[in-house]
Amino acid sequence: MQGLSYVLKVDKLVVKYGDKVAVNGLSFIINEGEVFGLLGPNGAGKTSTIRAIMNIVDYQGSIDLLGKGRPKGDLMNSIGAVMESPALLESLTVKEFLELVASLRNVNDTQRLDHLIDAFELRQYLGNYIMNLSQGNKQKVAIVAAVMHRPKLLILDEPFNALDVKAARIFKEIIQNHKKEGGAVLFSTHIMEIAEKICDRITIIDKGSEVTSGPTHEILEKLNAGSLEEAFLKAIHAEEQIKELTEAL
Amino acid sequence: MKKVSLEDALARELLVVGYIAARQTGFRPSNLRRSIRNVKFTKIIYTVIFSFYIALFSLFTSFKQIGFGVFAASMLIFAMSGLSVSSMMTPLSYAIYGSNNIRDFLLSTSLDAEQIHRLVGKAIFKTVDYIIYGTFGVSLIMSIIFKEFYILFSVAMGLSLGMLLQLAALELSYIRSKSMASSVATRSAVSLLPIVFLIPIFLSGTLYRLNLSSISSFYFIPPLSAAFGNSLHGAITSFFWIAVFGYGVYRLIPDVSWKLISGPPSAFFPILTKKVSNRWKITSSKTLALLRADFQAASRSLLGALIGGPLIVFLVILMNGAASSASSLSVLSFTLGIEMAYLSIMIPYAFYAMEMRGASALRMLPLSKVKIALPKLLLLLITYFLYEGSLTVVMLIKHASILNMLPFLLGFFGPAASIPMTGIIFEETLKSGGSPTVTLSIAFFLISAIIVAVPYTVYFIMTLFRMGYFESLLAMIVTGALEFSILMFILSLYD
């Protein structure tokens, strides 16, 4: 482990659903203290990549977490994840769910748990069934569950979905602090403004394959773009298409 | 473009929404087209299975050597018909969580409320149309071939009452309550209602060998009247009850249809009703933490039926055992022991199904597949020994021989092996995107049936070949242990 600086290494990843290839030979590395953006249009293969890392779907290629191989069993304690649609145990109350996660992750720092609850203004909802919560509050519960144990790698799939402004700001601060403490973040989104602000390096994928990759500022320079949105549209060759379509309207 | 009738599309939508809500994993089905196709496939499979059983039970009275009389066959046919429609309509209970979108869509069209009302009513009927046509058709053919019209009346009564019970259950689920306790009670009653009524009737068909003449004075009581369907007074009474139940269905469908697409009532998950303390209850035992959450979640969901149902059946079997004589109890003990063993595997299945709903959350936690299986195994063993132990105590009290019970007290490996098997099936389901796969559900019941039975069968065959009692017991234990270990090993490979 000495001298190892990467937290996650994905090599030649292939994910298939029957005949459909969702991810096609994707490779990337996420280093300590780095926010890595995985960007792409809807259906590009972002969520499939994350599902492979989370060991949810079958895949080919290799995934290595902290030099210990594929994430599984106790190694999952090094990961905290917020998925696009947080699937929680809906008939548990918020408190019961967080107690379950804390027990399974051996979290004894209840003070941190209390701070997180207060930061995301969830205390009043502790007795609520998760099913009753708004989408935004469900997202907050998923975030608390993902960060309570100070994981080495945060996997975030569209984590700002439905979050209110204050909660989104607090979560951005948590991501920055996590980075400062040497943690790594895999950040998947299609909202370019947020990606541009928080990602150190990005990989843009389309139809399951890498289109371009590198530090954010280098990609902007390489594609001669003023913003990440412009770079993204250029990378996936959508600018011309958008022009044609809007003209036809 | 292929023209699809609106009620067909609505029926399909209600079932698809219901199935996806019932098996919500947090993952979108990876193949929605297949999920939709599975709904139609489910209808066909259910129709084939239930029609097959009705044809099979219809044969019982024609083959005297089986020892089933008209009473037993009628009760089995009646209960099976009732279960066929009520089980097919069960997803509608789940559909209420997502079907208000259907209402919003329909209201945005040019249809008025009355038309929507009628359409949803027709859609409810469409969810069970294949089953009704299939089972009724089979019963008509069997009645004509064997000239036994109790078959036709038993099916018609079972179908009409099964539908009525399920609609009543849906209606009941809308009773609003202010406290958590009464809300849980309402939900449990809702999910258990058809089972509570139909399972004991089914069991009475397997446990009692009654002559019709001994119960002739009760011919006017449903479902007994169906058993008298070969006589004129039995046929008239049966017809009367079928008409009454049918009228009940006719009156309930419009009411339920509107409620069904109006979204869930607040009583299902009342807001801010559970008081919580400020102290966190964090346990260092992963097994206990998972077991506690499984109990909490399952007891509040419709899966509670899978826990409550077997418990009720267990009590019915126990009461039947207590009511039997010592000699018949000794004879029946092998059948009762097997039934108890099968009942014990339903609860862990409910817990796995419960965890499927939050699968993507649980997959992020440091849990190996074996660790996930451990709380279920613990619970299965407790349930198993409670069931088999209670039966043994009844036999001891009645001074019946417990030699036939020893294989069950020692043969826990068979049911225990169903846990890794269920785990493997659920892993496969998750890989397919957590979408409803009927094949996998059927696979669970078929494979589990075989796995649980293998060690007992080894014991049975060895005693049949007059091997020693203790050698037979030892062979059963070794077979079960092997089966359990191999399946646990396969499950661990999914990590």
**A142 in contact with B at a CB cutoff of 8 Å?**
yes
Question: Comparing B476 with A248, which gets the higher pLDDT?
Answer: B476
Whether the Cβ atoms of residue A104 and residue B286 lie closer than 8 Å to each other: yes
Nearest-CA distance from A86 to chain B in Å? 7
Which structural domain, as residue segments, surrounds residue A107? 6-248
- Is A161 a domain residue? yes
C-alpha angle A112-A114-A117 in degrees, rounded to nearest 5: 110
- B390, with CB counted inside 10 A (0-12, 13-18, 19+), is middle
Predicted pLDDT at B25? 44
Rounded to the nearest 5°, which phi and psi values hold at A158?
Answer: 50, 55
Chains A–B, number of C-beta pairs less than 8 Å apart: 129
Indicate which of B280, B291, B426 best probes the interface with A, i.e. most A CBs within 10 Å of its own CB. Answer: B280
Give Cα B434 to chain centroid, integer Å: 20
Would an 8 Å CB–CB cutoff place A99 in contact with chain B?
yes
Structural domain contains residue A1: no
pLDDT tens-place string over residues A137-173: 999 999 999 999 999 999 999 888 889 999 999 999 9
Q: How many domains does chain A have?
A: 1
Are A99 and B289 an interchain contact pair (Cβ–Cβ within 8 Å)?
A: yes
Instruction: Check CB contact under 8 Å for A101 and B365.
Output: yes
At B1 the pLDDT is 56
Contacts of B122 (CB under 8 A, 6+ apart): B7, B10, B11
| Cα distance between residue A129 and residue A132, in whole Å | 5
The series of mean pLDDT values per 10 residues for chain B, 495 residues long, is 67 65 48 64 84 86 68 88 84 58 68 75 83 94 91 94 87 58 52 72 70 78 86 90 92 79 50 68 87 77 60 72 71 76 80 72 82 88 86 82 82 91 81 55 73 88 83 92 95 87
- Using a CB–CB cutoff of 8 Å, tell me whether A21 touches chain B: no
A214: in domain: yes
Buried b (16+ CB within 10 A) or exposed e, B374-388: bbbbbbbeebbeebb
* Among A42, A46, A56, A76, the residue to mutate for chain B (most B Cβ within 10 A): A56
Q: How far apart are CA A185 and CA A176, in angstroms?
A: 10
The conformational region for residue A204 under phi > 0 = left, psi -120 to 50 = alpha, else beta, is beta
Mutate to test the interface with B, among A92, A97, A103 (most CBs of B within 10 A): A103
Model pLDDT for residues A10-37, shown as the tens digit of each residue: 999 999 877 788 999 999 999 999 999 9
Map residue B360 onto helix, strand or coil. Answer: helix
Residues from chain B that touch A56, judged by Cβ atoms under 8 A, are 27, 360, 363, 430
Separation in Å, CA B252 to CA B125, B235, B259: 12, 25, 11
- Closest-CA residue of chain B to A76: B366
- Asked if ipTM goes beyond 0.90, one says no
Residue A126: list chain B partners with CB under 8 A.
Answer: 276
In CATH, what number is assigned to the domain containing residue A170? 3.40.50.300
Across the beta sheet with A20-31, what order do the strands follow? A20-31, A6-17, A60-65
Q: Is residue A111 part of a domain?
A: yes
